[in-house]
Amino acid sequence: MTFQTAIEKLSGHQFENYSFKISYIPDEEARQIDFPLRILVPTQFVGAIIGKEGLTIKNITKQTQSRVDIHRKENSGAAEKPVTIHATPEGTSEACRMILEIMQKEADETKL
C-alpha cells in the first residue's frame, strides 16, 4: 500500500460517530524516511492508546518503527485529540491500523 493510498483509505473513515481527518505534514529534514500523518482520535480512547505506564504506545512505536505523538493539551475540552505518526509510509499505515484496533477493542469492552 502506498502512502497516498493509505491517506485516501483513512480519510473519512467512520468509527462510531467520528470521521477521521487525515493530512500529510511534510518534513523537509527527514524526507527519506519520515512521512508524518496527523489523525484526530476521540478523546475517550487516548488512555487506551497510551496504555498503562505507556506500554501500549511503546509497543506501537516499537513494532512500526515510528514515533507517535498524542497532543493531549491541544484543543482542551475537545471531543477529539490530534495524534501525529512519524514513520515510513508502511510504518504509518501499520501504526494507524493498530490505533484503530485499540479503539475498536476499547469501544467493544466499554460498550461505547
At 110, the pLDDT band (50, 70, 90 cuts) reads confident
Question: How do residues 43-95 score in pLDDT, each as one tens digit?
Answer: 999 999 999 999 999 999 999 999 999 987 776 778 899 999 999 888 999 99
Residue 33 in contact with residue 44, Cβ under 8 Å? no
Virtual CA dihedral for 27, 28, 31, 37, nearest 10 degrees?
10
The reported pTM is 0.69
What 57-61 contacts at long range (C-beta under 8 Å, 24+ apart), as own/partner pairs, is 60/95, 60/98, 60/99, 61/95
Query: Which three cell numbers mark 14?
Result: 467512520
Q: Which fold has domain 3-110?
A: Ribosomal Protein S8; Chain: A, domain 1 (3.30.1370)
At 31, the pLDDT band (50, 70, 90 cuts) reads very low
